[in-house]
Amino acid sequence: MANRSENLPKKFTDRLSGQLSAEDFESFKEAIDGDVPVSYRVNPFKPAEIEFSDTTPVPWCDEARYIAKRPSFAEDPLIFAGAYYVQEASSMFLWKALTQHAPLDKDIKVLDLCAAPGGKSTLINSLLTEKSMLVSNEIVGKRSLPLIDNLVRWGNPNTIVTGNYAESFAQLREYFDVIVTDAPCSGEGMFRKDPKAADLWSPSLVESCANVQIDIVNHIPRALKMGGLYIYSTCTFAPEENEQRLEQILDTGEFEPLEVDFDPAWGITKIEVEKNGEKATGYRFIFHKTKGEGLFLAAFRKKGEEARTQKFSISPKKIKSIFMVRKRESEDLRKWLKNGKDYEFYQDDREEVFAIPSHMVQDFKILTVSQKVRHQGIKMGRFNKKNNELIPDHELAVSNIVAENIPRQEVEYRDAINFLKKQEMSIRSIEGVKKGWAIITYKGLALGWVKALPNRLNNYYPSELRLRKDV
């Protein structure tokens, strides 16, 4: 057992002991020294045989399970293929809020404002229709890299990654149907999982995070449609970051509080906040009561009826200036895709080509001229300057849109690991393919590209992603 309770900041324990009853506070200290639950959520677009023993369901998320003992995930090729995502269980309560209150049967636009490293974004993406759009935003450049990587593994093209402050989205008036804000916070709910978070904690950090959250709540609801769903969450227990933010939301007079139904056996604590005659409910997950880390979540509906026309104003000339790939080259690109006619293609200033679902092209252009776009759709690759043929990108191989007629080579476990480590595999060729591109698969799921030559296979797994662990 760890002795985390002995190393908690005194000012934190002084405050929390006032928030909880004496009995609850003692139970909290006991729980924080206990084991950290491990859980994962499957990718519904990539069904696979995931072989973890002794698993039990996460009750508030249909596609998630607890694992009794943490395995070495780096030794499982399926995680690299995007078959599942390792996610803290409490944070998946978002699933319950969305399935109860979001119009998931419709084609909608969703903003995940503070999205890295991608747990909530992949969860949201699992629930959306094919013609919906997810904008995953992360202001910190380095944190956007794992976000992009995790969305790439999930495999869907209906995502755009941006890197903007909340105030930048305010100009997109009534643009999104759902906005999820998992706000930057002091991280008190992570003290068990990450003891370093306790070392970084201070009252000034709580105050600083609260100020960031105030700014977010002031700006981001403007981008939400009338009747739209707004979800606010943190992984902290501080009233300045939770209850006071609910008061701020209520104080706008623009939002109707929503209840999220749950089973009392789950151990979730309801926190009621009243402001201006209205009550909002927050849902608190805390170690000694729920099987997960610390979380606070609340849901709201923006009052009013949805406008027939959107109110944002962006120059049509700027939108028109975003050029897509020429028709002739597009026809060749469509051959690499399932239902290629449903996509258009964009080439950035680094000459990389991306597949954008046709229904998303106008939104992509709007976001490109109004926001800092870091990634869009599925990166297909780049054109060979000698023969103008596509050199396919890793993203295309692991996507859910790559053409089914592209040659594939199923491999056993050892060859899958060697492929991920960019080492030599036992297979030397693919039957029926003397020359050209092929996809390596494990348990039916794509891991990446090889190029078949007459007597060998060249491994094109990205060097920056390669498995470095000794497996």
- Helix or strand run (H / E) with residue 369: helix 361-370
Catalytically active residues, by annotation: 235
* Tokens (6 digits) for 360: 């998303």
Beta carbons within 10 angstroms of residue 143's beta carbon: 15
What SS3 state is found at 337? strand
**CA distance readout (Å), 337 to 56, 60, 334, 396:** 37, 35, 5, 9
The bridge status of strand 445-453 relative to strand 456-459 is antiparallel
Q: Which long-range contacts (CB under 8 A, 24 or more apart) does 384-392 make?
A: 388/329, 389/332, 390/332, 390/333, 390/336, 390/353, 392/336, 392/437, 392/449
Please say whether the beta carbons of 181 and 113 come within 8 A.
yes
Distance from C-alpha of 97 to C-alpha of 81, rounded to nearest angstrom: 28
Please say whether the beta carbons of 391 and 381 come within 8 A.
yes
DSSP assigned state of 318:
H
Distance from C-alpha of 206 to C-alpha of 99, rounded to nearest angstrom: 31
DSSP assigned state of 165:
-
- Helix or strand run (H / E) with residue 110: strand 109-112
